[in-house]
Every structure is written in structure tokens, then in C-alpha cells.
Structure 1
Amino acid sequence: MRHGTTSIGDALREFLNKSRMKPRLTEVRIQENWEDIMGKTIARYTSGIQLIDGKLIITTTVAPLKQELSYSKDKIIKLVNEKLGENVVKEVIIR
């Protein structure tokens, strides 16, 4: 690559990192990878995943799953952040 030039991938990555779209795109990435991160059973019984200001909000109507997820908040943070390759999730809220 010549001096002073940037690849399209690098330019796009830089644009997205500075863009207001980044939080929404990160949320979509979490939603798309939710089954890989948490497994099929948990993914099947969670009805919503949102990311708002570093808070991952997980919605489920299954009471035992709510309890299990409440006990696993630190693990969920670790798994999601590892999957994304950056520290985006700071807190988990179960609804």
C-alpha cells in the first residue's frame, strides 16, 4: 500500500467507530450472535436483546431462565465482550 492511502476496510471501520450508528450496529451484532454466545436453549427463550449505554437488556418470560441469567451476569458480560472483541457490555439487566 502506498504512503498516505488507507484500505476501504480500514476507512469503513474508522467511519463506523466515529459514527452514531456504532451502538445500534453493536446491538445487531449481539442479536445475530446470541445463539452462538448463549446456546440454542437460552436463545429460544429470550424474546429481546437490547444494548443501551453499555447495558445489555435481556427480555424473557420464563421465570427459571430469569433466575439463571441473573446468577450468570458476569459470565454473560465476559462472553459477549469476547465474541465482539471489545468491551461494550458493562452491565446486564434481566427483564
Structure 2
Amino acid sequence: MVKRQNEFQSIQDLMKDVIKENKLTKGMHQLSVKEAWANLMGNGVVSNTDKVELQGKTLIVKLKSSVLREELSYGKEKILKMMNEELGEILISKVLLC
């Protein structure tokens, strides 16, 4: 049982504690990455995306269109930078487009 703390904490801090204690960080990062991809890439790219996942520090994006994959491959560094900025921390060190 957890001891009651006399000090007040924000909801955000409490949620971080719950996520950390229950080892949910990896799953929360997966959700954050998918949400960031949808926010940054727009409807055209998102509608041609099959899967977005984070494996270790590698962002793996499976695309339906080979033309789109080729076009996005020219901007991998920009995608990497934008995704990390959107996530608020450096979670991604490599982008793999499949």
C-alpha cells in the first residue's frame, strides 16, 4: 500500500508516477508517436500510412505508396527533428520507411 503524502501534486505529476510505477512508459511512447505522426504529416500522408511504431529508438513507418516512400526518404532528417520536437523529448534516433 502506498503511503499518503501530505504535499499536493499536480495531476500531470501523478499520472507520470502511475505510468512509471506500472511500467506503461513504452506503451505511452507508442501512442505519442502515432499521434505526433498524424499531427505532423497531414491527411494525405496519414491516409497512405499502414503502420507507425517505435522499436527502441527507431521509428518504423509502413507506407502504402512507393512514390510517397521515395519522397519522404529525402526528408528523413527533417521528419526525425520534427517528431522529436513534437514529442518533447528525443525518443527517435532513426527513421525507417518501409
TM over 0.5: yes
Report runs of 4+ in structure 1 exceeding 6 Å deviation. Answer: none
**Structure showing greater Rg:** 2
SS of structure 2 residue aligned to 1:47:
strand
The alignment yields a C-alpha RMSD, in angstroms, of 2.0
How far is 1:34 from its partner? Answer: 2.1
1:59 equivalent in structure 2: 62
Q: Normalised by the size of structure 1, how large is the TM-score? A: 0.83
Matched, 1:34 2:41: no
Q: Normalised by the size of structure 2, how large is the TM-score? A: 0.81
Gapped regions of structure 2 (runs ≥ 5): 1-5
In 1, distance between residues paired with 2:87 and 2:15? 17
8 Å Cα contact 2:84/2:91 also seen in 1: yes
2:78 equivalent in structure 1: 75
In 2, distance between residues paired with 1:6 and 1:73? 43
In 2, distance between residues paired with 1:17 and 1:67? 38
Gapped regions of structure 1 (runs ≥ 5): none
CA deviation profile, 1:18-67 (whole Å, cap 9, x unmatched): 65321221111121232211111111101100001010000012111110
Question: Against the structure 1 CA distance between its residues 54 and 10, is the aligned structure 2 distance closer, same or farther, given a 3 Å change threshold?
Answer: same
% identity of equivalent residues? 27
2:7 equivalent in structure 1: 5
8 Å Cα contact 2:36/2:87 also seen in 1: no
8 Å Cα contact 2:84/2:90 also seen in 1: yes
